[in-house]
Amino acid sequence: AIPVRALRAGIGFALQTVVNTLSSGLILLFERPIQVGDNVQVGQLMGSVKRIGIRASTVRMYDGSEVIVPNGDLISQQVVNYTLSDRNRRLETMVSVAYGTDLEIARSVITDAVNSVSIVSIETPPQVLFLGFGESSLDFRVLYWIDDFDSGLQTASEVGIAINKALVREGIEIPFPQRDVHFRNSVSLDQSSDEPDSRKRSD
């Protein structure tokens, strides 16, 4: 009797899994929370949806590999869809300048540098926000938009290069961490070598 009950329980769980998988596939196909071509994140997975099936979907990772994701995971887990409504995306670049820099001039130079990058969206002006006084620097947070999600890495690279060129051209220093080291009770090597060795036996 016990094996029969265990078999029935196993069959029940299996059928429940099958029904859940099929219902998840139907939800994806009819409600369309994600579509083929969308850029999504499921847990630690990030990539582009290549196929949506009844039981599972295929997500192509940015390194070229493909992952088969059960449709149940796409329904039960939190899914970030970066391109559900449109392909616009906001990017962020952190910029630091040295103490003593005129903040208004620095902000103007950074803003002009971002605007000089052609693939940055012109519909939404960039924001250059002063974050505060860092340990070795004055810190800015630069926010800007792009029209195509796929150009994110290229745009961030070009914006960083443009900002660096502009700061160098204007003579605005980009700081690096500095540390002051204090020595206490230090003895020079010459002094230590002249001291008598207490371990030597006197004649």
141-174: pLDDT as tens digits: 999 999 999 999 999 999 999 999 999 999 999 8
Residue 170, classed as helix, strand or coil, is coil
Q: Which residue has the tokens 């192509």?
A: 60
**Element (H or E) spanning 155, and its range?**
helix 152-169
pLDDT of residue 75: 83
Backbone dihedral region of 32: left (phi > 0), alpha (psi from -120 to 50 degrees) or beta?
left
> pLDDT of 60-80, one tens digit each?
999 999 999 988 888 878 889
**What's the gap between Cα 101 and its chain centre?**
29
